[in-house]
Structure 1
């Protein structure tokens, strides 16, 4: 029996056509995922309006270090300070640590300071620093670090989050997301003459 050309019965796709359909389907799904990511990023960016920072009480805080010492923020006043909020469970945070360590090593003789505030458990930070030591001081902010980051303008509480203070304690720069060489070069130029 021969079916007319307008018949609603479909023949199975040939083996060569099936992979092509799967490929088009994957491309379509990837396009939808990309569009969702772009829309989500735009919405997230709109939500991440850098709020006016609340510095009241900031310089009076103190944080324990993983080795048991303590870091009082007041001791960092008088010289430029980059504060980096990070966590061991945050892949972009971990990726930027070697860059931050190099930056600090190259600029500390010029008066630049860097403090890593870990939004993490002490044991996790200790294990991380044993595997990947850094040249700058690290303190433990714990989960309260997210609230402190929010007070400093990080309305979404994301990590990593970095802020730059000049020698007078004025907040000059803030960035949500990993820093890169260009960011650090610009920030250095803003505070080191």
Structure 2
């Protein structure tokens, strides 16, 4: 009797293992599909609350914008030169915040354009900060060869949480945020900024 019961239990165990295996495979397939979808997604520009959001979502979007902005303005980061840079020091004038990394090809490709915009518009009150989501040593080594005129701050990989708080749910790079002179989020873009984007943003803040 014991042998019969044990013999019957073995196929059941194998069936259970098979079901678990199928479940794991399905989960992995789903994750792979989601990864492929994210790889296929292009740059996305999204307005902040009050600048084109759908009816009925303004209050929720405004709350999220305010929370993300407050988190950002409270931050202080080290610069590649070793000094401290308080984000609150940029309040009072329009600011483009650009999240980037040395390993992100589109981030590197847009830097000369961002630098040109900063040089052309800083005298008009425009500010630009590059917040590096990267190892400090990698950033310093990169900037030794490719200097930019706008300030760079070191957020480290923990800075990804700030990108999410500001509307980049996937934490993708590059990611840019436009703040107006009052410190409010006006526009965001996931992906490389174009010259047309910068021209359009310059009229919003």
Q: Does 1:86 align with 2:83?
A: no
From 76, 92, 107, the equivalent of 1:62 is 76
Query: Partners of 2:95 and 2:179 in 1: how far apart?
Result: 5
Does the 8 A contact of 2:71 with 2:162 survive in 1? no
Q: TM-score, normalised by structure 2?
A: 0.69
Q: Does 1:112 align with 2:109?
A: no
Q: TM-score, normalised by structure 1?
A: 0.73
CA drift at 1:187:
0.6
Corresponding residue number in structure 2 for 1:40: 37
From 113, 126, 129, the equivalent of 1:99 is 113
From 123, 135, 138, the equivalent of 2:152 is 138
- Asked which structure has the greater CA Rg, the reply is 1
- The runs of at least 4 consecutive aligned structure 1 residues that moved more than 6 Å come to 48-51
The structure with the largest helix share of the pair is 2
Q: Which runs of 5+ in 2 are unaligned?
A: 1-32, 49-60
Corresponding residue number in structure 2 for 1:32: none
Does the 8 A contact of 2:115 with 2:149 survive in 1? yes
Cα distance per residue 1:17-72 (max 9 Å; x no partner): xxxxxxxxxxxxxxxxxxx9xx8259858xx9987333333211101000001110
Q: Which runs of 5+ in 1 are unaligned?
A: 1-35
CA drift at 1:80:
0.4
Alignment RMSD = 2.4
